[in-house]
Amino acid sequence: MNPIIEIAMDDAFANYQTLSEQEKELIRNAMNGPLRAVIAKVFGAEFDQALGQFATAEPAPRRGLAAR
């Protein structure tokens, strides 16, 4: 038996938007590091391409004195 799992990337991206900035940074780091290559080997190129959306998601602009 080979069940097929479909992921609604619009829903996934909406869920991503609800994460804290720290959680988003964890995902960005994973998607820009060696973990992404391993995930691509397991789940395939199409899944990796979809995950690329999260790797390029921009962090929120920094505010306050630390941003200057």
Residue 64 lies in a domain: no
One-letter amino acid for residue 47 of the chain: F
Residue 2 lies in a domain: no
pLDDT tens profile 8-41: 888 888 898 899 999 988 888 888 889 888 988 9
* pLDDT the model gives residue 57: 58
Query: What's the whole-model pTM score?
Result: 0.64
Residue 1 lies in a domain: no
With b for 16 or more beta-carbon neighbours within 10 A and e for fewer, the 58-67 pattern comes to eeeeeeeeee
Residue 4 lies in a domain: no
Write the DSSP assignment of the chain as a string of letters. --------HHHHHHHHHTS-HHHHHHHHHHHTSHHHHHHHHHH-HHHHHHHHHHHSPPPPPP-SGGG-
Domain residues for 21? 9-57
Residue 3 lies in a domain: no
Residue 53 lies in a domain: yes
* pLDDT the model gives residue 46: 84
